[in-house]
Amino acid sequence: MPTSIAEGKDWSLERFKRHQPDTVCDVGPGEGTYAKLFRPVHHGVWWTAVEIHKPYIRKYGLKNTAKRKDMYDEVHNLDAREAPEHLYFRDLVIFGDVLEHMPREDAVALLRKAEAAGCWNILVSLPIVEAPQGEVDGNPHEEHVHHWDADDMDSVLAELGGRVEKMRGGTLGVWWWSRRG
């Protein structure tokens, strides 16, 4: 869904405050959960959104217009797997409730792509319980394609090197990967 449950958001916010990124790429922002949460606590951050479902851009006011400044400074209507690497050359890349919407191999390749592009931090949030979901609100990309096991995500992020912090809740697992060890 274009929304996310509250679990793990406070934990993520504390890491955001600690790292204070100046550039962020939010992959699959939906309604902009992370921009709404993080923007008020650290100003002057350049926010990029990569959103596959074009109707969400207008529906949730993701894109800037001449009349108003919205949640994101830059919005790309793209499949994150096909996005140019320079979009991932950021202080923080957020994969908030998005990796479960693609095959595992694609998700792993996307994480590796972000790391190879030079991002400094990666935030991952995803269900760690069975959470079947199909198309939502006319968006076929909302279907849950892969069920992640928390230990599996631990090992995927460990393979990237760096340092990994994690929080396992009752429904969501949240990871903060950092290039700095």
DSSP 100-164: GGS-HHHHHHHHHHHHHHT-SEEEEEEE-S------BTTBGGGS---PPPHHHHHHHHHHT-SEE
pTM to 2 decimals?
0.89
CATH 3.40.50.11900 fits 9-178, yes or no: no
> Tens digits of per-residue pLDDT, 19-55?
999 999 999 998 889 999 999 998 899 999 999 888 8
> Tens digits of per-residue pLDDT, 116-155?
999 999 999 998 877 655 566 765 556 556 688 999 999 9
Read off the DSSP letter of residue 8.
Answer: T
Contact assessment for residue 15 and residue 176, using Cβ atoms and an 8 Å cutoff: yes
